[in-house]
Structure 1
Amino acid sequence: MAQTLERLTRRTDTMQSIRGIVRTMKTMSAINAAPYEQAAEAIDAWRDIVLDGLHAFLHCNGPLKHRTVDDPQRVLIVMGSDHGLCGNYNELLAREVVRQPDVGRAQVICVGAQMQDALGGEGVTPVTTLLPPANADGLIRLASQLVTRLDTVRAEAGQGALAADLVYTQRGAHGLQSPVTQALLPLDPDMLDALAQRPWVSRSLPQHTLPAPDLLAGLVRNLVFATLYRAAAEALVTENAARLARMQQAEQSVDENLEDLKAETRSVRQSEITTELLDVIVGFEALKGRDRRKKRNRAASR
């Protein structure tokens, strides 16, 4: 019985240590999500500025002609997790990737080594795998690498067009997360038409000194950068939210196990106390019986 109580005590201590780790991970997830959320809000403001610049360009040069290409070079950029403890985050993204049309012909750019493993489980082999950001400052590095990679693919495609899509996880209603696919290139024709038709409300007319092709290329590059940056920030916010939810579930499970262990420990301790009391009573009764026998023997000898 003593060994059982000792074992229960060790298990309780282990569960309390695990609870401390889970609580720390939960706190870190909540803290880590805040800088990425702030970065997402900041890049939204920058993206609005780029769109204003594109609006001014279209006002000066007129609407862009939309070119249709029958067989563009497809690129899929998948924003996964590389830190774990967030459930089936990568597996859901991998299933979203295989649902894309012509995924077998697309060049898949993967963010995260664990995301690469999840894609391999679905039979998809990325052409390159990039490291996810370790902090909010790393978002610039990741977005720049992706823009450079897209420039390389476009140069390799030659005169052919480039069709790039983003696959990442975003927050939904009631704290849920879901994988989404967002078109990256070519730019949305409806958005461009809406910008071209929007009236210019300033009293000063826009003008530019750069050649129109160079200015347009710079605006598109910055818009792509902002979109990639925003998607990476949103994916990391969602990842930390998923990890926070898993840690909350783990904390609840640990608390339930601790309650069971404490109840079992109390029961075992009560059994030990009862056994010890019975031993004392039995010993006391034995001593009383021995004293009575001695008295009877002394009385008989007289």
Structure 2
Amino acid sequence: MKSLKELSLRIKNIKSIQKTTKIMQMVSAAKLLQSQKKLSCSKLYISKLYSIISSLMLSVDQKLLAEILNTGDDNSYLVFIIASDRGLCGNFNSSIVKSSQEHVNKLITSGKKVNIVFFGKKAFDISKNRFDSRSILKVENSKGITLKHVEALVDGIDLSKYNKVKVFHNKFYNTFTQKPILEIIKPWNKDTSLIDNSLVNPTIDYNYECEPQNTEFILRSLIQNYVTTALYSALLESAASENSARMVAMESANRNTKGILNKLALLYNRSRQAAITTDLIEVIGGAESL
């Protein structure tokens, strides 16, 4: 049995950990609210942009549209893997790394050229030995990301070299549910979870008229803007999922520390009582011997 001093020191350490996890839970809850607000605004913007692009596509010749969308070969891929810069958020990072690794390995096995951009140092640390180092193009921080930063990143990468651009991120469903998901942001993809379908109705809400010579230029520009916005929206989804996962993980840690403290307190009291009983027996024994 451990000594009273050892038990007392362990109880003190557990209480210190409990304070830390409680603070982290409160901070994550506050950040989650901020992330949800940003995500809501982003969904509104990207949904309206999606609707405008869909409306313009209806008025473009199909051959020209196929050229604009680059729906030909699919030999080269650019894959964004979005996770976290920190841990202590459950299986948030490991789940996205596992799902992306399986997909990327299948592409490489089938002879495709794949370049990877990581958002999140923690995800990179977990998976750097699981991917071919020659495939890793960049590693970026995921914390404090802004739309301007994403625009600069996209402008610095020649997207015309890639037939497909994909994004792996954790989708935020609710406080307790976040799941890894794959989004295709190039070429144009009608099935995407980044938009709010209730805000999209290109045939009714909008009726745009463009000068014939400018339609192609406008559509290309909007699609380029969509790629940037979709990547930023995926980052916001991931941020909301991360804060939610960390909040739940810290709440679970608080419950565990309470259980451990109760067991330690019971063990401490039993040990203390046993020590007192032993002292009493020794005193009584000594008195009787006199």
TM-score (norm 2): 0.81
Q: 2:221 aligns with which of 218, 221, 224?
A: 218
Q: Does 1:147 align with 2:154?
A: yes
Q: 1:99 aligns with which of 102, 105, 130?
A: 102
Are 2:170 and 2:238, in contact at CA under 8 Å, matched by a contact in 1? yes
| 176 and 45 in structure 1: CA distance in 2 versus 1, 3 angstrom threshold | closer
Which residue in the other structure is 2:184 paired with? 183
| 36 and 272 in structure 1: CA distance in 2 versus 1, 3 angstrom threshold | same
Are 1:36 and 1:233, in contact at CA under 8 Å, matched by a contact in 2? yes
State the distance in 2 between where 1:91 and 1:73 align: 26
Counterparts of 1:35-184 in structure 2 under 5 Å? 35-58=34-57, 61=60, 65-67=65-67, 68-100=71-103, 101-103=106-108, 105-125=113-133, 126-134=136-144, 138-150=145-157, 152-154=158-160, 157=161, 162-172=163-173, 175-184=176-185
Counterparts of 1:222-301 in structure 2 under 5 Å? 222-286=225-289
Are 1:133 and 1:142, in contact at CA under 8 Å, matched by a contact in 2? no
Are 1:133 and 1:139, in contact at CA under 8 Å, matched by a contact in 2? no
CA shift, 1:61, in A, is: 4.4
CA deviations on 1:129-152 (whole Å, 9 max, x unpaired) are 111133xxx3324432442244x2
CA shift, 1:44, in A, is: 0.9
Please say which of residues 42-51 and 58-67 is displaced more in the overlay: 58-67
CA shift, 1:284, in A, is: 4.4
Aligned length: 272
AA matched with 1:30 = A
Please say which of residues 219-228 and 15-24 is displaced more in the overlay: 219-228
Are 2:84 and 2:143, in contact at CA under 8 Å, matched by a contact in 1? no
Percent sequence identity is 21
| 83 and 141 in structure 1: CA distance in 2 versus 1, 3 angstrom threshold | farther
CA shift, 1:81, in A, is: 1.0
| 65 and 223 in structure 1: CA distance in 2 versus 1, 3 angstrom threshold | same
Which residue in the other structure is 2:197 paired with? none
Compare the two structures and name the one with the higher helix fraction: 1
Are 2:22 and 2:250, in contact at CA under 8 Å, matched by a contact in 1? yes
Are 1:110 and 1:116, in contact at CA under 8 Å, matched by a contact in 2? yes
State the distance in 1 between where 2:126 and 2:89 align: 14
Gaps of 5+ in 1: 192-196, 288-302
Please say which of residues 54-63 and 65-74 is displaced more in the overlay: 54-63
| 124 and 91 in structure 1: CA distance in 2 versus 1, 3 angstrom threshold | farther
Which residue in the other structure is 1:291 paired with? none
AA matched with 2:17 = I
AA matched with 1:107 = N
The 3-state SS of whatever aligns with 1:132 is coil
TM-score (norm 1): 0.78
Which residue in the other structure is 1:206 paired with? 208
| 110 and 173 in structure 1: CA distance in 2 versus 1, 3 angstrom threshold | same
